[in-house]
């Protein structure tokens, strides 16, 4: 079941997917990362639905006060378009601009939007936001899901975005509070605690490569001149059998982790990872019946 509750204070864990460490730099890497994003969108559709409902309702409410509805909406770091398509579906009068530095991912956005019947209202725009924002003013709503922590200077980018945003316009930020976990502590092979050790290794890798993962986004938004109006944690806590694609998602996830973990796990954990990724073996992620999905993502809403 996916549900949300008010934001709880506490230490923030780090994002576990090394696929998100870098802007993709070759076609295979790009395709693997994009598959993972597509699976995330499908397996966690209920979670994203709740978050998109909240963001679009808050945007419509804010602009309704001045007699308008959201006209231009931006998906910042759109990836493969889970957000862009969801926004276009919920806001039938809006134009959605999917902005990303990856042309490869944006190709998928266009295909997905077309398949969803919203292709005429979803525009893709290749841009490196670290080099400055394209002139998209006036923006009524920006959706930034799992993308802000990739930016070199999020406060600077968020301040620029605020200048492009209409009076009363909204920004919705979804980020990681706790990384997703899939595995029981005892896998029935190898010693217990594999996933915890793997996540510890990754959070050390991420601390160096993506220092803004787990940042206080409300504080950064305030520093960039935004007024934070709502902060929620969305708790993901589901048993995998409810999700036919959960095994594939877990497989894609650990496949992406492999690069970051490689050489940093001890020999036994390295063997465990190999067994999890072996689709023909008894430990293979695609066929396990003991998977679950657990993690926390934050949703922060702010007005210009
Ligand atoms: C983890 S993905 C999230 C994708 C999507 N928002 C989602 O929720 O599925 C992060 C995205 O940010 C994009 N990105 C990273 N750095 C960027 C930059 N400097 N300018 C524009 N996009 C960037 C990446 O290409 C990638 O598609």
- The pLDDT profile of the chain, 304 residues, written as one tens digit per residue, is 334 443 333 333 333 333 333 333 345 567 778 899 999 999 999 899 999 999 999 999 999 988 999 999 999 999 999 999 999 999 999 999 999 999 999 999 999 999 999 999 999 999 999 999 999 999 999 999 999 999 999 999 999 999 999 999 999 999 988 889 999 999 988 899 999 999 999 888 888 888 888 889 999 999 999 999 999 998 999 887 677 888 999 999 999 888 888 889 999 999 999 999 999 999 999 889 899 999 999 999 999 9
Residue 105 Cα to ligand 1 middle (Å): 9
pTM, whole model, 2 decimals?
Answer: 0.89
Q: Is the CB of 230 under 6 A from ligand 1?
A: no
Q: Is the CB of 56 under 6 A from ligand 1?
A: no
Minimum CA distance residue for ligand 1 atom 17: 101
Residue 58 Cα to ligand 1 middle (Å): 23
Distance CA(55)–CA(140), nearest Å, equals: 11
Distance CA(270)–CA(273), nearest Å, equals: 5
Q: Is the CB of 209 under 6 A from ligand 1?
A: no
Q: Which of 181, 176, 205 is nearest to 254 (CA)?
A: 181
Of ligand 1's atoms, which has the minimum distance to the CA of residue 130? 19
Distance CA(146)–CA(149), nearest Å, equals: 7
Q: Is the CB of 238 under 6 A from ligand 1?
A: no
Distance CA(17)–CA(37), nearest Å, equals: 11
**Cβ neighbour number for residue 224 with a 10 Å cutoff:** 18
Q: Is the CB of 160 under 6 A from ligand 1?
A: no
Q: Is the CB of 174 under 6 A from ligand 1?
A: no
Minimum CA distance residue for ligand 1 atom 14: 77
Contact call for residues 68 and 153 (beta carbons, < 8 A): no
Of ligand 1's atoms, which has the minimum distance to the CA of residue 20? 1
Q: Is the CB of 71 under 6 A from ligand 1?
A: no
pLDDT in the model for residue 188: 85
Backbone region of residue 147 per phi and psi (left: phi > 0; alpha: psi in -120 to 50; beta: other values): alpha
């Amino acid at each position: 079941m996916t549900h949300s509750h008010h934001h709880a204070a506490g230490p923030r864990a780090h994002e576990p997917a090394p696929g998100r460490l870098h802007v993709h730099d070759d076609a295979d890497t790009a395709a693997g990362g994009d598959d993972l994003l597509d699976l995330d969108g499908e397996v966690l559709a209920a979670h994203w639905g709740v978050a998109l409902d909240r963001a679009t309702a808050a945007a419509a409410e804010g602009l309704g006060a001045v007699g308008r509805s959201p006209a231009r909406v931006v998906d910042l770091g759109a990836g493969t378009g889970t957000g862009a398509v969801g926004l276009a579906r919920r806001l039938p009068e809006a134009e959605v601009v999917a902005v990303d530095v990856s042309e490869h991912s944006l190709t998928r956005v266009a295909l997905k939007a077309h398949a969803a019947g919203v292709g005429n209202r979803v525009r893709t725009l290749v841009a490196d936001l670290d080099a400055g924002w394209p002139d998209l003013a006036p923006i009524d709503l920006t959706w930034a899901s799992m993308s802000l922590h990739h930016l070199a200077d999020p406060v600077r980018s968020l301040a620029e975005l605020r200048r492009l945003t209409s009076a009363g316009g909204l920004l919705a930020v979804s980020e990681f509070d706790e990384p997703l976990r899939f595995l029981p502590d005892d896998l029935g092979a190898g010693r217990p605690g594999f996933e915890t050790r793997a996540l510890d290794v990754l959070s050390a890798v991420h601390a160096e490569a993506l220092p803004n993962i787990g940042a206080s986004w409300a504080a950064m938004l305030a520093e960039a001149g935004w007024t934070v109006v709502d902060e929620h944690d969305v708790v993901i806590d589901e048993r995998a059998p409810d999700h036919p694609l959960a095994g594939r998602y877990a497989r894609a996830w650990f496949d992406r982790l492999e690069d970051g973990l490689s050489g940093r796990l001890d020999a036994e954990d390295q063997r465990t990872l190999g067994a999890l990724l072996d689709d023909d073996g008894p430990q293979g992620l695609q066929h396990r019946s003991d998977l679950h999905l657990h993690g926390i993502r934050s949703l922060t809403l702010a007005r210009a």
